[in-house]
Structure 1
Amino acid sequence: MTNDPPWADVFGHEEPYPEQADGIDAAIDAAEDGGFLALEGACGTGKTMLALTAGIDRVRDPDSDFERVFVLTSVKQQLRQFETDLDAVNANLPDDYDPVSGLTLVGKADVCPYARENRGGIDRGNVYERCEGLRERTRNLVGEGGETTAGALVSEARSQQVGLLDSGAGSVSGGATDGSGEVDDGGAADYLTVDGEPTPYPPDTETFGETEFCPFYAGFLDDIPEDGGDPAEAVPFDVTELGHVDADELVRLSASHGSCPHSVMGALVPEVEVVIGNYYHAFDPTTTATFTGALLDDATFVVCDEAHMLEPRVRDLVSDAVADASLRDAVSEITRVVQPLSFEAEGAESDDAALVRGELEDGDVTLEELEAVREFYADLRAEIDRRVTAHLDRERPDWRASMRELADDEIPLRDPEDPGEDVITTWAREAGYGDRVWSRAPAVGATVKRVLDSLSEEDKRRAAPGVGRTLNAWYREGHTDFFRAIDLERTHDGTAPPDSWRRAYNGSLALYNCLPSEPIGERLGEFGGGVVMSATLEPMDVFREVTGLDHLAERGRPVVERTYGLSFPPENRASFAVDAPKFTHANRGAPGERTDARLAHLDAVETVARRDGNVLVGAPNYAEAAWFADELDARLEKPVLIDESSGDRETESLKDAFFAGEGKVLVTSLRGTLTEGVDYRGDRLSAAVVCGVPIINTARPRTRAVITAYDRRFESGFETALTVPAVRKARQAIGRVIRGPDERGVRVLLDARYARESWNAVREYLPEHEREEFQPVSTDMLSVALDGFETGE
């Protein structure tokens, strides 16, 4: 590059696009003032490399206060893209530069040696419970007043190899470890191997006396300096020499040494220059409290990718619920703690009673508080039962005879459009449950967990701690920005009484955060600065409001905006806003009802779908998608595939079928997973059609509560909370078509609201460059317009 900018050495490619260079400079300047770049960049802008370059430049600049880059994304494919671009940065660094160290954060199921190999009674389904129990027991064995040391546990586990070999269980003559802790296997002894790599331990967990422990976790504890020094000193490899470390390499390097990969990952979090994770790692209170808290400071340059999803994802993370079944389990758990003291009161002495008394004293919890909280939970369950039964009797009098026909439901506990105290809080006060029982619930839950973990060897997640925290929040949080309801999720529980709603539903008390802008803004404000980016952020003023960026700007943290359109040749794409009847529920009627609006949309979709290549059709919901698929299947010779709400495996199989062979039509919901974050590069997609504006159903009480909260805060509730996110969903879908400079394709927004300026139009929510491209066309001229694009006229 001529006149190289200061960041050129850490840019991973030969030459930046003009938009990249501008964006990198803007991000660096904003971050140096403690601010953020809000970036909308179409496919091909190079947003990933832009953000990494700006962050790494700040980290490597000796005059900057930044020490690390923290990448957050909600889409796995984008996570992989950051890994790929970080590798490109390292591959193109000048010869005298150290590699940029990086780490991808994953869950325990992805790195636990036993879970990966399904050994030790641990698999992906129970790894969290088993890990928590094994770690707790290992710490108890080696902690202050423990029975042994971590080094002794490791030696015991390693010595089992000698016993196995001496007894003939192994098949090698050797298999000891050298002084470094690496396995020196003279052959194929009966070691646990992970992804083909041997570890220094047997295939199952170990026991000390009668106590089961995890040798890998003991190995990690043994590597921590005796003076309680920095856990990073327990990392068995030099990350600064390796560049980026992904999950597979982390497991290989840690487990072969005999150390716990997940613990090593936690120790590395504050040490590497680039940490790649998801929204949980920054916004989930439990995750940040136990794992990533060291990243939440002004020395971190944050990159928030797919930021159009920031608001709904964080709303889920800062909302909470307590299940009816969890209340039941919490009552049972408290009873098990109280029982030894009850027996003691009857004259029966026991070690369990002494343990319980000690834990109560340590937790500053009284027996009376345990019993009061237990009574509260039991009465709360009874109140939930009464309200759910009354609701079903009122809304569906025959529900007991038709349980299998019941659908998911929601019972509002206050008027969604008139904030005020919910009826559960009112009931509790009138029943005599005041401040004390709500406020002491978390302490009771924590104490119950400690007692039960000490009394039992079973690995089990305790219900009482979570119930206590959630009910405390229920009582503490306000009633304007939070909405409370009873959620009913369809299930079938044959153990419940035949005439109980619990046979058909999982019920829960839901505490729903309608307005997450404050927690988003507050969390972003903890970082030193960074980039918040997506292909679909516009309109920027709305995005800044709902993510709290405006609040940061008011506090002197600058927010700089950039919007970059497609940089690929415009002659390679055709973009139409088709003036078809509005595809609203009122216009189209129910699926199957052959209204003029419905048939007009079907005809337009067919016009596009008959063209060569793969065509993606996005409908407002799965029910409409199913109708379109059935109708198109009857009209087209092309294969028509239907995406239904399903798991990851089914979705991946559907994608593979769509990409294979000749052209097909894939019909899906615009609120599904196939319209954003999926790579349709190359000839995988020739056209995308969006039918209607995918505004969510406003009949749901919590949706009306969200609109009300946004009205009170922004004076534009429907627009801010529903319309703008719906348009972003549509833009994400059409953005799947053109992914490279040599690709050609058709993008169609099908609905008069995209084509006209009317009272409920959405054209104004498209960025200016898209309003210029998506020129209105009538339904009867769509075929002519497509012919013109194909012939180049």
Structure 2
Amino acid sequence: MATSDGPGYLRFFPYDQPYDHQHDAMETIREALVTERDVLFEGACGTGKTLAALAPALEYGRAANKTVVITTNVHQQTRQFIEEARAINTGEPIRTVVFRGKGSMCHIDVDYKECQALRDATREVVDQAEEVAALEQQAAELREAANDEDGGTAAGGGATEPAAGGSDIAEARAAVLDELQSAEDQLDEVQADATVCDRYHRNLTQDTSDFYDWLYADVRTPDEIYDAAHEAGLCGYELLKEGMEGVDLVVCNYHHLLDPNIREQFFRWLDRDPEDIVAVFDEAHNIEDAARDHATRTCNEVTLASALDELDETDDFRAEATERVVRAFHDALVDIYEAGMGFGARESLGEDWEDVTIDADTGRDDLTMAFLERYEGPGYKQDLEHALNLGQTLDQSYQEAYKEGETTTRKECQTLAAAAFIDDWMDGSAEPGTYPVVSVRRTEAGVRGRAELYTCIPRQVTEPLFDDLHASVLMSATLRPFDVQRDVLGLEDPVTMAYGLQFPPERRRTFAVTSPALFASKRDDPGVQSTVAGTIEDAVRFTPGNTLVFCPSYAEAERYYDRVGTDSTPYLDRPGERAEDLRERFTAGDNGVLFTSLWGTLAEGVSYDGDDARTVLVVGVPYPHLDDRMEAVEEAFAGAFGSEDQGWRYAVEIPTVRKTRQALGRVVRSPEDFGVRALVDERYAGSRADDLGRYSVHDTFPEEEREELVDVSPEKLKFAMLNFYQELDAYDGAPPRP
């Protein structure tokens, strides 16, 4: 652990001494927190970002009465946070909670609304029992007082008349006994009718101090909390919620902060206002997509049809008005996707959602217009108001029925879900930065559609969050360019800092291979394929160990998996298959080549340490599929930031290069490690930048990374790799011959 001499945050640094760049980062972060400024912190692998952020945040939080929340959307990073928090806790005790969603911690496997109804019913039973106990105590005390009064009178000389206060005590006791009888009857009634959670009941009625003593004696994982609570017959999730007040550090998933509804509850459990929170976001380059997901709203055809079925069974004056709007929207949705699929599209549909374009160049979208054409009534706004009110009434009745034991499950109100979405659609589908879309897929019951309000610009979600928090630290290995990150997320005047790889540069080489540009139009060219396949074969043959090959898509990965000839063991990552099992098989060997998509799960947040992988290739510039949805994002950014070029840069090019940089970071993970990183496409090469003009992505990389890029022709890559690995004596035996 660092010495106590020097800055106060060093007592939260659990190792001997921080690196110089960590000292610098910690000092910068500490100053930013004092002045309530956000921080954009880029640090390559090995820069110690987590501790550089946590140490000053914890020290400042302790001094200023703030709670530090560190969050990620990558499971491996959560495990690292736990390890770092445990290391800190050994030298400087900190109260830490590692929080996970209810779904994975429920002992009886019920959904959120059922859990909420069970909690309410259980709480009502316990509250009623406590009222009975309090009245019993009050009656006992009055009985004792009456006995004392009688005894005192007798001792005083045998007076025949009762003391003046005696009748008052008797009257009070009689009143309490009446109240007690009523309370006991009510308790019998709620116990007979209510559906309760036995585990939560024990939470409320048993002494749980031993659990909390155990919880805060160390940093406990959610699995450990689940197991301990399960063995004790308690609900660990509810115990966590009840015991988070006064903690120093919370480890959680993105959705606890990015989802506005969850965030409000989360801060309430912490007993904190947003201005009392210092948030640390890891893998912060993912916030943009995560924020979009949380802001996007959907409603599928099944929900609308279920709402209509629900309305058929509802005897309420508002049902007719509700049916008018829900049926019109349902039928309009079906009409739109049926008309939009085109010849043969129905037969080729799979289980994945496929978009049907409905966004009109001018005016309202096709689904809105179809809804307005189908709707027949006095006015859809008036009917929607009735629909929302009816939905809330039905939802409350389902809650009460479950709570009182009339139903065994908590019924979901489809009418409320449908009406709320239609209301959102009619208000929000024309908003700037929102893309209305219809999607369709094949299910066991046939073709089904859904409507979706897709949020193009994530700062609609993130800007209010960052405005409300005391301060935040956003860290990643790939945050630059900082001005784009600032604009996209809506950060105001953030502090920025960046630290490159701290490992010996002589132990790595980064090549830009001047193979033909893999434009989509050129990928089927036999000559281009031959050059790329040959380059991959050379790289695999001259790698003393495993090779990673990241392609623009799973289809391209499969293409070169089939085409590349090598003595190494080939592995193919396929969509829908468990990637972690494949990764374990690949890293268990010592002469393999793994083909995968750069947009898959193996391109970031996964370490390939040491012999797990020696060479990584990124084949092509892996732009995402440029469909209507991506074009909508591009147009939204162009409108927000001033030009079509900026729209392309913000929406497509920079996210793609960030992904590429993440993939390059899969190898060379420690000072002792070594390896080759190669970008196989002339668009990466500095020597081709002038010739390729706007198609070049060379200048999108940070300056120090551009300086490391060594341009090499496809036929010379094997010689460059041979020289590098020979210098490090990396080959086991004689090196391969060119």
Relative to the length of structure 1, the TM-score reads: 0.78
| 1:389 counterpart SS class | helix
Q: Which residue of 1 aligns with 2:55?
A: 53
**Partner of residue 250 from structure 1, selected from 204, 213, 225:** 225
Matching of residue 307 in structure 1 with residue 252 in structure 2: no
Change (3 A) 1:403 1:541: closer
**AA in 2 matched with 1:264:** L
Deviation at 1:211, TM superposition (A): 4.1
Higher mean displacement: 251-260 or 598-607: 251-260
Q: CA deviation at 1:659?
A: 1.1
**Which residue of 302, 308, 316 maps to 1:331?**
308
1:599 Cα deviation after fit: 2.0
- How far apart, CA to CA, are the structure 2 residues paired with 1:642 and 1:605? 14
Alignment of 1:473-512 (within 5 A): 473-477=424-428, 478-493=430-445, 503=446, 505-512=447-454
Question: Is residue 421–residue 479 contact of structure 1 (8 Å, CA) maintained in 2?
Answer: no
Which runs of 5 or more residues in structure 1 are unaligned?
94-98, 115-121, 153-206, 225-232, 342-366, 494-502, 554-558
The residue type paired with residue 622 of structure 1 is: Y
Partner of 1:362: none
Whether the aligned pair in 2 keeps the contact of 1:59 and 1:67 (CA below 8 Å) is: yes
Indicate how the Cα distance of structure 1 residues 235 and 707 shifts in structure 2: closer, same or farther if over 3 A, else same: farther
Matches within 5 A, 1:584-733: 584-589=519-524, 594-610=525-541, 611-632=543-564, 635-647=565-577, 650-698=578-626, 700-714=627-641, 715=643, 716-733=646-663
Larger radius of gyration: 2
Aligned AA (1:628): Y
- What amino acid sits opposite 2:69 in the alignment? F
| Equivalent residue number for residue 325 of structure 2 | 376
| Aligned positions of 1:185-200 closer than 5 A | none
Matched residues, percent identical? Answer: 30
Contact 1:486 1:508 in 2 (8 A): yes
Superposition map of 1:20-419 within 5 A: 20-61=22-63, 64=64, 66-93=65-92, 99-114=93-108, 122=109, 126-128=110-112, 130-139=114-123, 141-142=125-126, 208-209=191-192, 211-222=194-205, 236-238=211-213, 241-293=216-268, 294=270, 297-336=274-313, 338-339=314-315, 367-368=317-318, 370-392=319-341, 395-396=342-343, 398=344, 402=347, 408-415=353-360, 418=361
The separation in 2 between residues aligned to 1:652 and 1:629, in whole angstroms, is 19
In terms of mean alpha carbon deviation, does 241-250 or 528-537 score higher? 241-250
TM-score of the superposed pair, with normalisation by structure 2: 0.83
Q: CA deviation at 1:445?
A: 2.6
Match of 1:457 in 2: 407
Q: Which residue of 2 aligns with 1:352?
A: none
Which SS does the other structure have where 2:6 is aligned? coil
**CA separation in 2, counterparts of 1:208 and 1:595?**
75
- Match for 1:458: what amino acid? T
Does the aligned pair in 2 maintain the 1:55–1:530 contact within 8 Å?
Answer: no
1:719 is paired with a residue whose SS is helix
Q: Would you say the 8 A contact 1:134–1:213 is kept in 2?
A: yes
Structure 2 segments unaligned to the other structure (5+ residues): 134-189, 729-738
Residues 74-98 of structure 1: per-residue CA shift (max 9 Å, x gap)? 10000111111011111233xxxxx
- Find out whether 1:770 has 2:705 as its counterpart: yes
Q: Specify the code of the residue in structure 1 equivalent to 2:367.
A: I
Counterpart contact for 1:223–1:234, Cα < 8 Å: no
Q: Could you tell me how far apart the structure 2 residues matched to 1:30 and 1:332 are?
A: 56
Instruction: Give deviations 1:441-498, integer Å, cap 9, x for gaps.
Output: 44433322111233451324333333333332222324321111111133232xxxxx
Q: Is the 8 A contact 2:96 2:248 kept in 1?
A: yes
In structure 2, the CA distance between the partners of 1:727 and 1:659, relative to structure 1 (3 Å rule), is same
- What does residue 175 of structure 1 align with? none
The CA distance in 1 between the partners of 2:461 and 2:651, in whole Å, is 16
Structure 1 residues 491 and 429: alpha-carbon distance in aligned structure 2, compared to 1, 3 A threshold: closer
2:365 maps to a residue whose letter is D
Q: Describe the SS at the equivalent of 1:626.
A: helix
How far apart are 1:68 and its partner, in Å? 0.7
In structure 1, distance between residues paired with 2:250 and 2:352: 42
- Residue 424 of structure 1 corresponds to 367
Give the letter aligned to residue 560 of structure 1. Answer: V
> Residue 235 and residue 522 in structure 1: after superposition, are their counterparts in 2 closer, same or farther (change >3 A)?
farther
Q: By how many angstroms is 1:579 displaced?
A: 1.3
Residues 596-634 of structure 1 deviation map (CA, whole Å, 9 limit, x = unaligned) = 2222221111111112211110000000011111112xx
Deviation at residue 751 of structure 1 after TM alignment: 1.0
Equivalent pair of 2:325/2:380 in contact (CA under 8 Å) = no
Does residue 1:447 correspond to 2:447, yes or no? no
Deviation per residue, 1:757-793 (Å, 9 max, x gap)? 2221111111111101112222122112112211229
State the secondary structure of the residue aligned to 1:583: coil
User: How far does residue 745 in structure 1 lie from its aligned partner after superposition?
Assistant: 0.5
Alignment RMSD: 2.5
Which whole-Å CA distance do the structure 1 matches of 2:328 and 2:483 have between them?
A: 47
1:641–1:666: 8 Å Cα contact kept in structure 2? yes
CA deviation after TM superposition for structure 1 residue 236, in Å: 5.0
Equivalent position of 1:164 in the other structure: none
Contact kept in structure 1, 2:391 and 2:416, CA below 8 Å: yes
Deviates more, 1:104-113 or 1:671-680: 104-113
Q: Verify the 8 A CA contact 2:267 2:274 in the aligned structure 1.
A: no
Q: Compute the displacement of 1:208 (Å).
A: 4.2
Which deviations, in whole Å up to 9, do the C-alpha atoms of 1:715-751 show, x marking residues without a partner? 3111110110001111111100011010011101111
The whole-number CA distance in structure 1 between the counterparts of 2:123 and 2:307 is 25
Is the CA contact (8 Å cut-off) linking 1:69 and 1:273 kept in structure 2?
Answer: yes
AA aligned opposite 1:761: S
Post-superposition Cα deviations, 1:222-261, rounded to whole Å, max 9, x if no partner, equal 469xxxxxxxx99952478424232133235544554421
* 1:333–1:448 Cα contact (<8 Å) kept: no
Match of 1:517 in 2: 459
Residues 470 and 290 (structure 1), Cα distance of their counterparts in 2 relative to 1, 3 Å cut:
farther
Paired letter, 1:242: A
Kindly indicate whether the alpha-carbon contact (under 8 Å) linking 2:590 and 2:612 is maintained by their aligned counterparts in 1: no
- In the alignment, structure 1 residue 472 sits paired with structure 2 residue 456: no
Alpha-carbon distance, 1:60 to partner: 1.9
Which structure has greater helix proportion? 2
